[in-house]
Amino acid sequence: MQESNRKRLEAAGWKVGSVDEFLGLSPEESAYIEMKLALSHALRQHRLHNKLSQIELAKLVHSSQSRIAKMEAGDPSVSIDLIMKSLLALGASPNDVAKAIASGSSHAA
């Protein structure tokens, strides 16, 4: 957020902070969420790179299309285990997975 916008909002009585502060997340919880989102993004990128639909990926990993959509969206009901299994099924290497995690960003490749 631009500093001018922050000051304007604070002057109007709004409290401005981070999502972590708002939700009361610990640094560990925040890092976990960022890693999961990075893996979710990597899953989508690998699926698109392999020119697979969500349905085709679902068949490959013995899941459902709706579950794949939830994985790609970073839904909290989806385990990191399933995201990892799906990435590996798409041919992602351990190095690819590590790069996605290390980026710590939901925009990881």
- Is position 74 within any domain? yes
- Is position 13 within any domain? no
The segments of the chain whose pLDDT lies below 50 read 106-109
Residues 87 and 39: beta-carbon distance below 8 Å: yes
User: Over the chain, what is the mean pLDDT?
Assistant: 89
Q: Give per-residue pLDDT as tens, 14-37.
A: 888 877 888 888 989 988 889 999
Quote the number of domains for the chain.
1
- Is position 109 within any domain? no
Q: Which domain holds residue 41?
A: 26-103
What's 63's domain CATH number? 1.10.260.40
What is the share, in percent, of the chain residues with pLDDT greater than 70? Answer: 94
- Is position 19 within any domain? no
Helices (H), the chain: 3-11, 19-23, 27-49, 54-60, 65-73, 80-89, 94-103
